[in-house]
Structure 1
């Protein structure tokens, strides 16, 4: 019960801290969700995206092999 009371007094008792807690929480959640979704997308499309195939194309071009 002491933990709940401490959290309430620290973050939710005053309107200003409540508002700031909501804003910071939303920004942190948005960043975490975006990072997770992008990681999932990259994992599903591994080997199909430009950032995955670019080194192989550059290596072929450096070797002089244009036989695609």
Structure 2
């Protein structure tokens, strides 16, 4: 109960800190969700994406 009281007093008691907490939480959630989705997509399509098969079709440029 002490942890819940501390969190409430620090983050949710005042409207301004509540709004900032929600905005920061939304940004972090979006980043985590986006990176997780990309990781799942790349794992499901391993070997099919251009960056995985690029070496088969492009010739190396010599200087």
Give the equivalent residue in structure 2 for 1:29. 29
Task: Report the TM-score when normalising by structure 1.
Answer: 0.82
Give the equivalent residue in structure 1 for 2:55. 55
In structure 2, distance between residues paired with 1:19 and 1:51: 41
Q: Which has the larger radius of gyration?
A: 1
Structure 1 segments (4+ residues) deviating >3 Å:
none
Task: Report the TM-score when normalising by structure 2.
Answer: 0.88
Superposed displacement of residue 56, structure 1: 3.4
**Structure 2 residue ranges without an equivalent (≥5):** none
In structure 2, distance between residues paired with 1:55 and 1:24: 41
Give the equivalent residue in structure 2 for 1:42. 42
CA-based RMSD of the aligned residues comes to 1.0
